[in-house]
Structure 1
Amino acid sequence: MKKIIILGLLLGITQVYAQEVELKDDKVIIDGKEILKYEKVNNGQYSFFNNADDEILMYKYQNNQTQELIEDDYITFNFLTLKKKVQTSDFSLIYASSSKKSMQKLIKLLLKEKVLDLTGTMNDEKLDIFIEKYNQVIK
């Protein structure tokens, strides 16, 4: 009986974090349902919008004006409607083979951390935890 309960819990956890995230036609689609819109400004900047067309998140790659030097580069997640920001030099959080795949990884991270839910709503309390976990002092 314990094995069945444990298996059920594992399957449930897997389903929570195994959403299919697509960025297609300026839409963020999770498991076939559109939850956000997005705009690619350039390879280093994306904006995400809720269904009311409010810009809720801006992602920006900062090269610190030193093209040749990557050690001082960082990324910013600006949660505009909640007036909170995360800056980090830990590119492993979202790094992928393309900027689009990196944004998919970002959305998956926000879902996993419960900052973003499947309706496209941001959770302010979970964002505070996200900030505690990932924010760095960038100079």
Structure 2
Amino acid sequence: MKHLIYLTILFLTVTALTAQEIKLKDDVVYSSGIPTFSFTKKAMGNELYVYKLNTKEELFHMLVDNNGTEIKQDDGKKIVFEQQKVSIQSKNFRNRKWDFLISLLLEEKVINPKGDINLENLNRFKAKYDDNDVNKTMR
């Protein structure tokens, strides 16, 4: 019983430390209540562009990828890092909101709250989540 209590406390502590509470409000991305990035929505909310805070320096953008079809089952979301020439397309993100994806990028240390992008972590993220990754289909 004592071990179960310790494990529960450990789990709750680790979860609280790694969880990023992301809110999108008034063109600002808040991470745990702190203004972190700026954003704009385009294409009737189907595209989200994320910038360094209070600038127009684009960090990445995300969009709903409908694959040119009207069928929703094959839709996904795409995350594009223009400067790094990396894009991640995943059907697993289909039902996920923008704030979840930003939180995931922060959690996976692809991007930090200052807007710095870690290319090594970005490539790892791509290998982990991208539906079109050649290495993933070869396994």
TM-score band by shorter chain is: 0.7 to 0.9
Which of 120, 123, 128 is matched with 1:128 structurally? 123
Q: After TM superposition, list the pairs within 5 Å mapping 1:68-79 onto structure 2.
A: 69-79=71-81
TM-score, normalization: structure 2? Answer: 0.77
Alignment match, 1:61: 64
- CA offsets 1:8-30 (integer angstroms, 9 cap, x no match): 86455323322221111100011
Moved over 4 A (4+): 5-12
Are 1:29 and 2:7 counterparts? no
Shift of 1:73: 2.0
2:59–2:115 Cα contact (<8 Å) kept: no
TM-score, normalization: structure 1? Answer: 0.77
Q: What letter is aligned with 1:58?
A: H
Which of 34, 42, 45 is matched with 1:43 structurally? 45
Alignment match, 2:109: 114
Cα 1:90–1:11 change in 2 (3 A) is: closer
Q: What letter is aligned with 2:90?
A: T
Q: Tell me the distance in 1 between the aligned counterparts of 2:73 and 2:15.
A: 35
Cα 1:113–1:63 change in 2 (3 A) is: same
Q: After TM superposition, list the pairs within 5 Å mapping 1:11-30 onto structure 2.
A: 13-30=14-31
Q: Tell me the distance in 1 between the aligned counterparts of 2:56 and 2:26.
A: 15
2:66–2:72 Cα contact (<8 Å) kept: yes
- Give the number of equivalent residue pairs: 129
Which of 86, 89, 100 is matched with 1:87 structurally? 89
- What RMSD in Å do the two structures reach over aligned CA positions? 2.5
Q: What letter is aligned with 1:25?
A: D
Q: Tell me the distance in 2 between the aligned counterparts of 1:81 and 1:16.
A: 30
Identity %: 30
Q: Which stretch shows the higher mean deviation, 116-125 or 104-113?
A: 116-125
